[in-house]
Structure 1
Amino acid sequence: MSKDVSFPGKPPSKLNSRAAEAFAELRLASEERTKRVTFDIPATLHQRVKQACVREDISMSQVLREFLERRFPQAPQ
């Protein structure tokens, strides 16, 4: 004889409003296709970046995209 046990689904995650707004803004600003970039960095640098992003409540991806946009601005057309 088996007993049926039901578990409730995962509780809805609390969306970070700042991250959600940044994501929406990024999507609305451009429907440009994306490319994945992979590169190695020292573990200590990764740790510093990750800790700063947690403190500032922003994703590492967003920080790196913003850095790259500033470093390599789009040429005027």
Structure 2
Amino acid sequence: INECDLNVSSCEQVCSNTLGEYTCSCNTGYHSNKTDSNKCYRVSENKMTFIVNKDVSQLNINERLSSDFSYLKKQVEEG
């Protein structure tokens, strides 16, 4: 029996049929909810845009471990 084809799964986005059961996953750009793995939420990207001498660039400041965040933090501290 394919639970995904029968619409008995409660997957919000992607249903993968396995032997005797199914698993849920999320589309690119989404992550599963920690409390309900059948639900997905959009991953937000926090970017800061800089314009210096007509040059436009963006830095990813979504995660403190990103190299962009570390670079920006260092520049601000030395600033």
Normalised by the length of structure 2, the TM-score is 0.25
Larger Rg: 2
**Comparing both structures, which one devotes a greater share of its residues to helix?**
1
Normalised by the length of structure 1, the TM-score is 0.25
Higher relative contact order (CA 8 A, sep 6+): 1
